[in-house]
Structure 1
Amino acid sequence: MPAAAARPISSTATERHRLKKAAWGHKTEYRLRVRAQIVLHAARGLPNARIAELVGVHVDTVRTWRSRFAELGMPGLADRKRTGRPPSFTPLQAAQVKALACQLPAETGTPLSRWTTPELAREAVKRGIAPFLSASTVRRWLARDALKPWQHRSWIFITDPHFRAKAARVLDLYARTWNGEPLDADEFVVSADEKTSIQARCRCHPTLAPGKARAMRVNHTYGRGGALAYLAAYDVHHAKVFGRTEPRTGIDPFMALVAQVMSQEPYASAKRVFWIVDNGSSHRGKKAAERLAAAFPNSVLVHTPVHASWLNQVEIFFSVVQRKVVSPNGFTGLSEVRDRLRAFEDRYNATAQPFQWKFTASDLDDLLARLDQHTVDHPEEASVGLAA
Structure 2
Amino acid sequence: MRIAPLGLIDGDRDKLEAILRAPTAPAGLALRARIVLLAADGVSNSEIARRCGVSRPTVITWRGRYGERGIDGLSDLHRSGRPRTLDHSAIVTATLMPPPKKLGVTHWSSRLLADHLGISFYAVANAWREYGVQPWRAETFKYSTDPELVAKVHDVVGLYLDPPENAIVLSLDEKSQIQALDRTQPMLPMQPGSVERHTHDYKRHGTTTLFAALDIATGKVTASCKPRHRSTEYLAFLKQVARAYPSQELHLIADNYATHKTPEVKAWLAENPRIAVHFTPTSASWLNLVEVWFGVIQRQALGRGVFTSVTDLTSKIRAFINGWNTRATPFVWTKTPEEILKKATRKTTSNTSH
Aligned to 1:215, what secondary structure does the other structure show?
A: coil
The correspondence for 1:160, drawn from 135, 142, 146, is 146
Q: 1:41 to 1:207 in 2, by over 3 A?
A: farther
Per-residue CA distance 1:227-272 (angstroms, 9 max, x = gap): 21111110112211112211121222222322222212xx2111x2
* 1:6 matched residue in structure 2: 6
Aligned to 1:79, what secondary structure does the other structure show?
A: coil
**2:76 is aligned with what amino acid?**
D
* 1:90 matched residue in structure 2: 85
Does residue 81 (structure 1) correspond to residue 78 (structure 2)? The answer is yes
In 1, Cα distance between the equivalents of 2:76 and 2:209? 62
Aligned to 2:325, what secondary structure does the other structure show?
A: helix
* 2:125 matched residue in structure 1: 139
Shift of 1:292: 2.8
**Larger relative contact order (Cα-Cα within 8 Å, sequence gap ≥ 6):** 2
Aligned to 2:329, what secondary structure does the other structure show?
A: coil
Q: 1:40 to 1:259 in 2, by over 3 A?
A: farther
The correspondence for 2:303, drawn from 294, 319, 327, is 327
* 1:251 matched residue in structure 2: 231
The correspondence for 2:247, drawn from 269, 286, 299, is 269
In 1, Cα distance between the equivalents of 2:72 and 2:167? 62
**1:328 is aligned with what amino acid?**
R
Per-residue CA distance 1:87-128 (angstroms, 9 max, x = gap): 5x5243x2211111122336x875321121112112212xxx
Listed as ranges, the matches of 1:346-365 within 5 Å are 346-365=322-341
Aligned to 1:24, what secondary structure does the other structure show?
A: coil
Structure 2, gaps ≥5 residues long: none
CA contact (8 A) 2:172 2:214 kept: yes
The correspondence for 2:184, drawn from 204, 207, 217, is 204
CA contact (8 A) 2:184 2:199 kept: yes
Does residue 187 (structure 1) correspond to residue 167 (structure 2)? The answer is yes
Q: With structure 1 as the length reference, what TM-score do the two structures score? A: 0.78
CA contact (8 A) 1:42 1:51 kept: no
In 2, Cα distance between the equivalents of 1:212 and 1:57? 44
Aligned to 2:138, what secondary structure does the other structure show?
A: coil
In 2, Cα distance between the equivalents of 1:322 and 1:275? 23
CA contact (8 A) 1:39 1:65 kept: no
* 2:222 matched residue in structure 1: 242
Aligned to 2:320, what secondary structure does the other structure show?
A: helix
RMSD over aligned Cα atoms: 3.3
Q: With structure 2 as the length reference, what TM-score do the two structures score? A: 0.85
**2:214 is aligned with what amino acid?**
Y
Aligned to 2:105, what secondary structure does the other structure show?
A: coil
